[in-house]
Amino acid sequence: MTLADYRRQRGEPLFDEQAAAVQHEEHHPNAFQYLQIGIILFVITAIEVGIYYIDMSHDLLVGLLLALSIAKFSLVVLWFMHLRFDSPVFRTLFAVGLGATLALFTVVIAVSHGGLV
């Protein structure tokens, strides 16, 4: 028996539909906010390409590029894919996939630096 069947048997509401709809409307960004985020993404990309041509230490360059990339990634995932506003279930699902990928990266880097490959 699913949770929905159980609630239906007991005559309980499956969820507060009205509250859910209102919450959804309140929290989703509007077109203007999406455009603002688009401009921020454009600026970050321009900075990325700009610093690529600046003469600086390799470690600093890599650190800056990774930080800017993470910022862009987060903006798209949280706002455009609505993970910031949607159910935590989706956040958890994506976090598991992303976490497994980061674990894979860590192993690869460790193996590579350990001279095993």
Partner 1 sequence: MAHAATGHLETSTGLDNRKLLMWFFLASDCLFFGSFIAAYLLYRDRSLVGPYPEDLFDIPFTSVSAFVLLMSSVSMVLALAAIQRGNVRGMRIWLFTTAMLGTLFIAGQAYEFTEFYHEGLTLSTNLFGTTFFVLTGFHGAHVTIGVLILLSLFVYSLRGGIQQKDSLNVELAGLYWHFVDIVWIVIFTLIYLVQP
Binding site for partner 1 (CB under 8 A): 2-5, 14-15, 17, 20-21, 24, 28-31, 34-35, 37-38, 41-42, 45, 48-49, 52, 61-62, 65-66, 68-69, 72-73, 76-77, 79-82, 86-87, 89-90, 93-94, 96-98, 100-101, 104-105, 108-109, 111-112, 117
Closest CA to 66 of 51, 81, 54: 51
- Distance from C-alpha of 89 to C-alpha of 94, rounded to nearest angstrom: 9
CB of 11 to partner 1, least distance (A): 14
Contact at 8 Å (CB) between 55 and 101? no
- Distance from C-alpha of 92 to C-alpha of 38, rounded to nearest angstrom: 25
Q: Which is nearer to partner 1, 11 or 97 (CB)?
A: 97
